[in-house]
Structure 1
């Protein structure tokens, strides 16, 4: 007796997931908490609709935000028997449409796609006779990307960016000039960047009704995953795909909005009911990932948030209250260490204990706020004899060693076809032999950094070969899975950005851990200034840091370990404090007192008299002048050598922490420090632009750079 459609597709879904899967007409909004099976629910919805005849698989488009998530969705759809449904990122879907419609809508060939902005941005700055370093170029690239996904032009950028700091150390007017120069260079060289892919697709759909009608005829139903991360530009593209129709299913969780600095905005998820008054809303709150102890800590973290002012409170949505479905597990562990080195050693010791007790290293993660924190854990894990992998950097298949390895494997596969197959070694040994010529060894190197990363990449390819040999059962009278097949598999994975799993403890930033999960998670460096990060100086910024920690907590299935240190270096002064987010959560602590009003409104209550120039006595005209305490036209009184030492130090700090240089100190603050010549932390604290968190994090290093009084 054959299974019914309901038995094939709906078996195993809970009540809310089943509601999602059987609600085949839109609009539908799924509010899905961490670990509640949202991908399962929406892929089963697609399968139920396609297999039941409600959806044409060629006329449904599922979009998400990362190639990895899209690949995961395609795999699940294929397993459900509906592999012909398209699951793509916004950029991939838009690029495909742009390539198809460009000749008829614009004419000629589509401009070449620019992989990286850095070279053109640096050239744009040089044309304007502006000096930039690598950190500044990175800041400028991020700012241009934010402006474009927010749909601002070089002309409209200044009025919308007044409160975004000074990217690259440049004011908004100069930033707009660099933005304009960059756009002109792209036009001159017939290039487009990734944001242009979306902008040009939007432009064609807006201007050419024939193209818009064709796209709307092609796609009748849309599913959007991670809808809280949609940018204004992506939202506009989605609206143009839809037209006047309402066949849209969106899935998201406002408590996991952690990418606002890139232009992501959860208001589209929160206001879905206003756009579609007849929308059905389904909440997924049953957490199948984490133990009740982990779920309770995550719920408590969000519930501890207190009113912070009208703007911040309006942007903060009521969190979903997760309900744990797994059996009880160990209580989350909290650890305070004397310094960063001791914290890393303690974490490595605990990880080794877990591995020795049977927890696979690949099911353990160490998560931190900034990538610059990874070095201590690389060294500690190496000393403990535990393998690890770094996540969140360059894409796996874009790494030079991976590209070189695939070229060598492809060359070897051609030669392999000319030899006696019976005499050839198995796939695993062949891959080891080929990659051995590139430096692969069975044992990991003792060193960390680039050497270790290169070995991890090659080791991942070897592990993939071993895995494929085990999983591909030989067919009677047929050839074994060989080197030619392995190279084809790598090519397919490269196109889908489906990186192999590395057997080792994962070291990753909290941002890059989004969408992943492990049996054991170690959240490290949870001290004020790192969590929340020091430059989160608004109520909205602190709220996003709280959500970021929530994402970190909810990555853990069973073991959760939270730690912080009191000093940066061994023997240093113990001036650090545990993160305010841990107040009321860690043993022996009490909940933080409620705060009233926003950061900005509190500042307005303590207005100071107008500042005047210490040289000429005239009123200071802008923030930069007030920061350094003199008019821009009045002569400087600082030593150039000291100022350059401060700039060089800031650059190295920014590279280590992988944050924009201006987020440490702006040029104006460095000038103010060089002119004030503070001789103590108390005097340094009087310099405008140096708050308590920055004083704590950078004060000692800055004083060491200044000449003795």
Structure 2
């Protein structure tokens, strides 16, 4: 008998008249989050615990309770995630879910700035520039300021753009970033300031915004224009945010301002999965949420639907070592599962040899290459492994 997947919500076999958001469809913690009444709620969602499902059912519940779909805002970090959630919500209720305003922070900022940006003097027809365009303008500013003749040591447009964007996303000064990460460029700090100031003025003069401007100006719109801020906050009565641990300080402030008049905000995330600090993500946003929104209800999704208990037990022991965390214990109702083995190599080469030795034994014992996977954090981490596999004549396919 085929076991039904926890995420199989596309076939609707419930009796006529039964609510799609029922206790049979969700576990206890998911149901509590999805059917939460009003006020702030923080959902700590461990890996594989059904956070997407919970957000989908939350939208369905709100609409079932008579909340106009267009008064619900769903903020995600990828367009695909927003589209998937909205599609799945329509499978639970009806096509009205398509009227939910769902998208990335940047896409939503673009929409609202075109509708309300005139409150800050922005024309609705502004043009968004990509990274390549932005770097081209940086080069133009370097030339106009006479900085191109400073010799080969003067940093490239890419480095300058990284510094300008990093200062925005990390809410830090240019000086801080230069002295922390590029001390050898400290003599150019004043030049960086001049380039940034002229870059910003050029965009303003020509009706341009880069991706960072979308967030900055959305935050400004909510904070500096009392009328626009009230209109937007009143328009969106329920705010849902996915992957909150990956927000930067500007995004967290946007969420706070959006919900300032009603506090109907649900953020979902996992403090143990914050890995984008290099992009400006601030782990403390999720830790500070209950303080920023007094009366926050914290719900933990701890039941895992992807893994086995031995793997989860190892994961729990690692998470427990964190000094600052929301305490949780992942578990599964699935039985069995092999205990994980831990190998610590003295060098990357030793680690690669151990992995390839293990693969070679599996292949020798009849396991097809296509049933063996090696996971790594970033593409460049696979170099030693690829060399070892090649030297042993083991075919492989690299993805990502």
Interval of TM-score (by shorter of Structure 1 and Structure 2)? 0.7 to 0.9
Report what 1:165 is aligned to.
Answer: 181
Change (3 A) 1:168 1:264: farther
Deviations along 1:31-63, whole A, 9 cap, x unmatched?
Answer: 22222212211211211221232x221110111
Structure 1 residue aligned with 2:219, among 197, 202, 207?
202
Report what 1:64 is aligned to.
Answer: 76
CA apart distance, 1:91: 0.7
Change (3 A) 1:320 1:350: same
Which whole-Å CA distance do the structure 2 matches of 1:381 and 1:182 have between them? Answer: 48
TM-align CA RMSD: 3.4
Change (3 A) 1:388 1:151: closer
Q: Which has the higher contact order (CA 8 A, sep 6+)?
A: 2
Report what 1:367 is aligned to.
Answer: 376
Deviations along 1:320-340, whole A, 9 cap, x unmatched?
Answer: 222233322222233466865
Secondary structure (helix, strand or coil) at the match of 2:200 reads helix
Does 1:212 find its partner at 2:212? no
CA apart distance, 1:278: 1.9
Write out aligned runs for 1:595-614 (5 A).
none
Report what 1:538 is aligned to.
Answer: none
Report what 1:176 is aligned to.
Answer: 193
Change (3 A) 1:199 1:337: closer
Report what 1:27 is aligned to.
Answer: 40
Which whole-Å CA distance do the structure 2 matches of 1:337 and 1:282 have between them? Answer: 39
TM-score, normalisation: structure 2:
0.80
Secondary structure (helix, strand or coil) at the match of 2:375 reads strand
Structure 1 residue aligned with 2:58, among 45, 54, 62?
45
Which whole-Å CA distance do the structure 2 matches of 1:240 and 1:106 have between them? Answer: 20
Which whole-Å CA distance do the structure 1 matches of 2:295 and 2:366 have between them? Answer: 55
> Does structure 1 conserve the Cα–Cα contact (< 8 Å) formed by 2:216 and 2:250?
yes
CA apart distance, 1:238: 1.9
- Count of matched residue pairs: 374
Report what 1:74 is aligned to.
Answer: 86
Which whole-Å CA distance do the structure 1 matches of 2:358 and 2:211 have between them? Answer: 42
CA apart distance, 1:141: 2.7
Change (3 A) 1:337 1:248: closer
Deviations along 1:627-659, whole A, 9 cap, x unmatched?
Answer: xxxxxxxxxxxxxxxxxxxxxxxxxxxxxxxxx
CA apart distance, 1:247: 0.8
Which whole-Å CA distance do the structure 2 matches of 1:181 and 1:329 have between them? Answer: 60
CA apart distance, 1:203: 2.4
Change (3 A) 1:302 1:338: closer
Secondary structure (helix, strand or coil) at the match of 1:198 reads helix
Write out aligned runs for 1:371-450 (5 A).
371-378=379-386, 383-390=393-400
Does 1:143 find its partner at 2:159? no
Change (3 A) 1:124 1:348: farther
Structure 1 residue aligned with 2:129, among 98, 103, 114?
114
Secondary structure (helix, strand or coil) at the match of 2:342 reads strand
Report what 1:226 is aligned to.
Answer: 243
Write out aligned runs for 1:286-297 (5 A).
286-297=303-314
TM-score, normalisation: structure 1:
0.47
> Does structure 2 conserve the Cα–Cα contact (< 8 Å) formed by 1:140 and 1:167?
no
Change (3 A) 1:389 1:380: farther
Change (3 A) 1:357 1:7: farther
Secondary structure (helix, strand or coil) at the match of 2:62 reads helix
> Does structure 1 conserve the Cα–Cα contact (< 8 Å) formed by 2:76 and 2:241?
yes
Secondary structure (helix, strand or coil) at the match of 1:325 reads coil
Runs (5+) with no aligned partner, structure 1? 306-312, 391-709
Report what 2:4 is aligned to.
Answer: none
